[in-house]
């Protein structure tokens, strides 16, 4: 029997039922309005259609939880539409429709399963990627944290400090798409 959740418990990664629809919470925001009530704003993924939706709920709304299983998996490769993974326990391969911006072959991820079907992949918050292309820096161009554009090994474009060169490995925050340091 599924447990009952209130809207305040619908945090990132939670799977819940709203009527007949099943959703995975991608982003959670708690909004308090002056004299008004508190509302919960969510960005969710419809498990059946794959559509990304925005939902708003009152703090006292109730939902049914959905039992999910989490398991480790390894990223194999990607094409234009899908990313392909292998479950680390069962060695079964599966694909999920998503764009690859951060993963290299062999990277570990956490997979969420609903009724033995993979529905989501959690990538690490920080990834290390090699710089494939960037312009060189010129002397005297390093004042005030100057940044330049770089293309990383996965094709992701980010802004990096002027002292980073082609072939260097950098750490990128996958939530903000920002450079956080050298690797």
- pLDDT for residue 138: 60
Q: Are 94 and 87 in contact (CB under 8 A)?
A: yes
Q: Domains along the chain?
A: 4-65 (2.30.30.30), 69-122 (2.40.50.140), 126-182 (2.40.50.140)
pLDDT at 143 over 90: no
d(CA 120, CA 112) in angstroms, rounded, equals 5
The answer for 111, left when phi > 0, alpha when psi is -120 to 50, beta otherwise, is beta
Q: How far apart are CA 46 and CA 76, in angstroms?
A: 25
Q: pLDDT category, 55, cuts 50, 70, 90?
A: very high
- The b/e string for 65-76 (b: 16+ C-beta within 10 A; e otherwise) is bbebeeeebbbb
User: Is residue 70 predicted with pLDDT exceeding 60?
Assistant: yes
Chain position carrying tokens 């980073």: 164
Whether pTM > 0.85 for this model: the answer is: no
Does the pLDDT value for residue 137 go beyond 70? no
């Amino acid at each position: 029997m599924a447990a009952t959740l209130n809207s305040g418990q619908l945090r990132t990664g939670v799977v819940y039922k709203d009527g007949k629809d099943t959703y995975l919470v991608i982003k959670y925001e708690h909004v308090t309005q002056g004299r008004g009530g508190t509302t919960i704003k969510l960005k969710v993924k419809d498990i059946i259609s794959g559509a990304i939706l925005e939902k708003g709920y009152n703090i006292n709304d109730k939902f049914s939880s959905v039992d999910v299983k989490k398991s480790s998996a390894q990223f194999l490769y990607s094409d234009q539409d899908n990313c392909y993974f292998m479950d680390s326990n069962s060695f079964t391969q599966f694909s999920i429709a998503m764009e690859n911006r951060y993963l290299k072959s062999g990277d570990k991820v956490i997979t969420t399963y609903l009724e033995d079907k993979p529905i989501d992949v959690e990538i690490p918050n920080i990834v290390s990627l090699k710089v494939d292309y960037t312009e060189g820096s010129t002397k005297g161009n390093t004042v005030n944290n100057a940044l330049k554009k770089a293309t990383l090994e996965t094709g992701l474009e980010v802004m990096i400090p002027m002292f980073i060169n082609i072939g260097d490995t950098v750490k990128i925050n996958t939530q903000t798409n920002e450079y956080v340091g050298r690797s």
